Amino acid sequence: MGRPGGLAIVLLVARQLAVIYGAPLKTTFEGCRRGSLSGVDYDCCPSEYRGPILDFELKYNASAPVRIRRAMDCLDEDEASEYGEKLRKGISLMKALPADDPRSFAQQARLHCAYATGSFVTGSEGFDIHFSWFFHPWHRWFLYFHERILQTLLGDPTFTIYFWHWDHDGEAIIGRNKCSKSGMYFPAIYADPDSPLFHAARSLRPEFPALPVDLGLTGAESMDVPYRPKDLLLARNVAVMHDVMVIKSNTSRIFLGRDFRAGDKRVSPLEGAGSLEVTGHASIHWWVGGDLRTPPTAGKDPVFYAHHGNIDRLWKLWPLGGQGRANPTDPDFLDAEFLFYDETKNVVRVKVRDAMDTRALGYVYEFEERNEAWWNYQSTWNSWLKPVTHGPDTTTERSQGDPTS
Distance from C-alpha of 373 to C-alpha of 275, rounded to nearest angstrom: 19
Q: Is 70 in the site for ligand C2O (CB under 6 A)?
A: no
Q: Quote the least distance from Cβ 252 to ligand C2O, whole Å.
A: 19
Is 302 one of the binding residues for ligand C2O (CB under 6 A)? Answer: no
Query: Would you count residue 266 as binding ligand C2O (CB under 6 A)?
Result: no
- Measured CA to CA, the distance from residue 319 to residue 315 in angstroms comes to 8
Q: Does 313 bind ligand C2O (CB under 6 A)?
A: no
Contact map string, positions 131 to 150, toward ligand C2O, x by CB under 6 A? --------x-----------
Question: In degrees, to the nearest 5, what angle opens at C-alpha 35 toward C-alphas 30 and 38?
Answer: 155
If one asks whether residue 130 binds ligand C2O (CB under 6 A), the answer comes out as: yes
H or E segment at 364?
strand 363-365
Of 94 and 298, which CB lies nearer to ligand C2O in the complex structure? 298
Q: Shortest CA distance to 226 belongs to which of 310, 309, 286? A: 286
By beta-carbon proximity to ligand C2O, the closer residue of 19 and 149 is 149
Q: What are phi and psi of 254, to 5 degrees?
A: -70, -40
Q: Residue 69 interacts with ligand C2O (CB under 6 A)?
A: no
Examine residue 275 and tell whether it contacts ligand C2O (CB under 6 A). Answer: no
Considering just the CA atoms, what is the radius of gyration of the chain in Å?
A: 21
Q: From the CB of 307, what's the least distance to ligand C2O, in Å? A: 7
| Identity of the residue, 269 or 295, whose beta carbon is nearer to ligand C2O in the bound complex | 295
Q: From the CB of residue 239, how many other CB atoms can be counted at a distance below 10 Å?
A: 20
Give the C-alpha separation, 313 to 80, whole Å: 20
Based on the shown chain and the rule CB under 6 A, indicate whether residue 298 belongs to the binding site for ligand C2O.
yes
- What is the bridge-based pairing of β-strands 40-42 and 35-37? antiparallel
* End-to-end Cα distance, the chain: 39
Residue whose beta carbon is closest to ligand C2O:
405
Tell me, residue by residue from 73 to 112, as one string, x for binding to ligand C2O by CB under 6 A and - for no binding: ---------------------------------------x
Out of 202, 261, 285, 390, the only residue in the binding site for ligand C2O (CB under 6 A) is 285
What's at 286, amino acid-wise? W
Strand segments (E) across 201-326: none
Query: Which chain residues interact with ligand C2O by CB under 6 A?
Result: 112, 116, 130, 139, 281, 285, 295, 298, 308, 405
